[in-house]
Amino acid sequence: MTTRSLPTALLPASVKFTRERQGLWLMTAGGVVLGTVGIFVQEAYQHPLLTVWFRCVFGALALLLWIAATGMLGALRLHGRSWWVAGASGCLMVLNWALFFAAIPRTSIAVATVVFHIQPIWVMIFAAVFLHEAPSRRQWIATPVALLGLVLTTGLLSDRGAVQAFGNDYLVGLLLCLGGSLSYAAVTVLASTSKAIPAFTLSFWQCAVGAVLLAWVPLVWGWPGQAAAWAWLAGLGVIHTGLAYAVLFAGMARLKLGQIAVLQFVYPLAAVLFDWGIYGTTFTVVQWVGVALMGLAVWAIRKPAA
């Protein structure tokens, strides 16, 4: 019998340590890769719906190849209620990506990504309202802290308000980003009601639904005119959906929930650093305080109870 067939709790300490270390590297790598999503969106310079369609098409193809290579094609079959969950979550994921991609040029990669990561707050609220899952005392305390952090991160309370500095389009971008985080939270809650669907299966069907749902978009907005744009768009599907998801799924399988909760902050942190290094976007001290408050609060909400 190989160690792969043993439950994690029964593995030797050295093997568990190796698996956790691999998981940490995989989750970190996946988060860093996802942190470059905004760069690909900016450089492709296409209509948000066209960008989403290309991500769905190339993402579905990349995930299908990965699933076939790992011998798990049978897991793509859906039964009963799973079809409804896959279809609904696919529509919500399309909405999430479209709003997020539209928000990036109106704000910045850094601001849009950090604001988007308020979504665990919405997940907690949706779960309480629709699934009747009572939030813990820690979660109730963390919620206003996270919302305060969100307000500070937007830059609206800086010495020179972001709306004054960048115009009303900035405020529109923030609202788009909040809408994207709400739709992603809805995807998370919906997926939690059908735990029988593996994560990679749901991701594939979300992309497949998006590819069909937005098949009309290239006919309206046209096809990219430059090879570079095709490359950036293909990267969103192959790299940020196929590769990144495969790496993250592999990492999550090796880690505890508490470790996963902390490592999910690699994505927004990487996005902030890439935006600063490539486009020169910087945060004010007030915004950094907001990022810290949001990070602390969201970590408290995600961290499993002892």
Tens of pLDDT along the chain (306 residues)?
Answer: 333 444 555 556 667 778 888 888 988 899 899 999 999 999 999 999 999 999 999 999 999 999 999 899 998 999 888 899 999 999 999 999 999 999 999 999 999 999 998 888 888 888 888 888 888 888 888 888 888 888 888 877 765 555 545 668 888 999 999 999 999 999 988 888 877 788 889 999 999 999 999 999 999 999 999 999 999 999 999 999 988 888 888 888 787 766 776 777 889 889 999 999 999 988 888 889 988 998 888 787 766 555
Q: What is the pLDDT of residue 219?
A: 96
Torsion of CA 182, 186, 187, 193, to 10 degrees: 160
Closest CA to 293 of 38, 108, 114: 114
Torsion of CA 35, 38, 41, 44, to 10 degrees: -80
Q: What is the pLDDT of residue 92?
A: 96
Q: What is the pLDDT of residue 3?
A: 37
Q: What is the pLDDT of residue 166?
A: 62
Q: Are 143 and 300 in contact (CB under 8 A)?
A: no
pTM: 0.87
CA distance 238 to 113: 20
In a 13 Å sphere around the CA of 116, the CA atoms on its Cβ side amount to 31
Distance from the Cα of residue 8 to its chain's centroid: 27
Q: What is the pLDDT of residue 304?
A: 57
